[in-house]
Amino acid sequence: MPPVIIKNDPVVQKIRETLKDFKEQIMEYANIKLKIWEGKNQKGVEQMGEIISKTKIPREKGFLYYCGTDDEGNLTICRAEMARGKKKEGDEK
């Protein structure tokens, strides 16, 4: 399932503004036109992760923000809910 592309999330807006300076460098380094969520572009994902972490932008708890591409292949920020471990019934001791 492809990630949700958030258009009006305030955190995403802030990340986008911060990333504008890096966009060309990222596009060149990562060839981000590849669909990164298919695992074909690990180097680009790592590079973007580093840049996003350097921005020190407050993120919403329980969500992962990362770089992806929209349907036209443009660089965008995606937000995914982080998987949480759930206790199975009968696991408690």
Contact residues for 63 (Cβ-Cβ < 8 A; gap 6+): 79, 80, 81, 82
Predicted local confidence at residue 33, as pLDDT: 41
Which one-letter amino acid corresponds to residue 35?
A: K
Angle at 61 between CA 65 and CA 81, to 5 degrees: 55
Q: Give me the residues paired with residue 68 across strands.
A: 76
> Digits of tens for pLDDT over the chain (93 positions)?
555 665 666 766 776 676 666 666 555 544 444 334 444 455 555 666 666 666 555 566 777 666 666 666 666 666 667 666 554 455 444
